[in-house]
Amino acid sequence: MIVSMTGYGKAEGQYGDKNYSIEIRSVNNKFCEITFKYPKFLYTKDFELKDLVRKKISRGKLSIYINVGSDKNDENVFKVDKENVKTYFNVLKDIRKTIGSKEKIKLEHILTFSEFIAKDVSNELSDEEFKFILDLLNKGLDDLINMKIKEGESLRDDIMGRVKMIESESAIIEKISLENIKDERDKLFQKVELLLGDKKLIDENRIEQEVVLLAEKLDISEECVRLRSHTKYFEEYASSKELAGRRLNFLTQEINREINTMASKSLNAEISQRVSALKEELEKIREQLQNIE
């Protein structure tokens, strides 16, 4: 299966008086790189969040934004810790007594300890709420994956069109190659006859031996057969249910090896031209494979 590495996913939901929205953006990357931006109360949950993502996404650079808003008024998100207020008031009284001050203790003195006596309840996270966030993240990832699959289908159509071209062109090249060997044999006979000046003096057995050696150097039928075998597997992996990115990259390397061997064996201008066209198509396939998971 061909799945694009680029995509966008989103999920929204409400937990109590909190409104959550999750946005996920994915772009190409050799590995799985995950960056989260979320409220402070999720800092301790970073491992669990990334672990969930890695179970569903194997490659790509993902930027995930978890935003939360509240229907509460601002004055309702803070809870006063009355016991702490009493504690710090008594501390101030002891300090005043110690230094012999008669100054009255004012509210502004107590507010110096505001971070200890006023608790932001919006930052509290229960197990149930975190489960809700994980479920919402799952929905966002599913939305992302659906988009990646759709884009992957377009990539597959383009890639397989080029693979089919390579497959059919290799059959033509193989046919030309076989004809080329016969032509080279005839040319060899003509050259020897021209040099000796008498056809009867030609040692046909010796010429045939040279033709066999020449054929071994020029014959690219094995390369063409292996190349078409690779393209067959390419199509199978691209159509399977498993992610095919790494396998297709490997097969592309194997196809490239066969094409290079064909190019090195070719003495025919038409074959060289057609092999060059194969290289161009394969390079376009390589570029497209950089976009798939």
The predicted structure's pLDDT at residue 33 = 96
Residue 256 lies in a domain: yes
Specify if 2 maps to a domain.
no
Same domain? For 69 and 136 the reply is yes
Same-domain check for residues 165 and 256: yes
Cβ–Cβ under 8 Å, residues 59 and 27? no
Are 156 and 281 members of one domain?
A: yes
Residue 16 is given by DSSP the state T
Looking at the domain assignment, is residue 39 inside a domain?
A: yes
The number of CA neighbours under 13 Å toward the Cβ of 145 is 15
In a domain? residue 143: yes
Which pLDDT score, from 0 to 100, does residue 111 have? 72
Contact predicate 144/7, CB 8 Å: yes
Q: Are residues 99 and 156 in the same domain?
A: no
Q: Do 116 and 128 lie in a common domain?
A: no
The verdict on 142 and 47 lying in the same domain is: yes
Q: Are residues 91 and 23 in the same domain?
A: no
Does residue 14 lie in a domain region?
A: yes
| Segments forming the whole domain that contains residue 45 | 7-73+124-148
Domain count, the chain: 3
Cβ-based neighbours of 151, under 8 Å, separated by 6 or more: 4, 6, 7
Dist. CA 169–CA 17, nearest whole Å:
64
Structural domain contains residue 1: no
Q: With beta carbons less than 8 A apart as the criterion, state whether 25 and 62 touch.
A: yes
The verdict on 44 and 106 lying in the same domain is no
Q: What is the pLDDT along the chain (293 residues), one digit of tens a residue?
A: 899 999 999 999 999 888 999 999 999 998 999 999 998 889 999 999 999 999 999 999 999 999 998 766 555 555 666 777 788 788 888 888 888 888 888 877 777 766 555 555 456 789 999 999 999 999 999 999 999 999 999 999 999 999 999 999 999 998 888 777 676 666 666 666 666 555 565 566 766 666 666 666 777 888 999 999 999 999 999 998 888 899 999 999 999 999 999 998 877 889 899 999 999 999 999 999 999 98
Structure tokens, 169: 């062109």
Kindly state whether residues 203 and 228 are assigned to the same domain: yes
Give pLDDT, residue 214. Answer: 67
133 & 233 share domain: no
* 51, part of any domain: yes
Q: CA–CA separation, 276 vs 116, rounded Å? A: 74
Instruction: For residue 37, list its beta bridge partners.
Output: 65
284 within a domain of the structure (yes/no): yes
Same domain, 166 and 260: yes
Residues 162 and 218 in one domain: yes
Domain of 23: which CATH number?
3.30.230
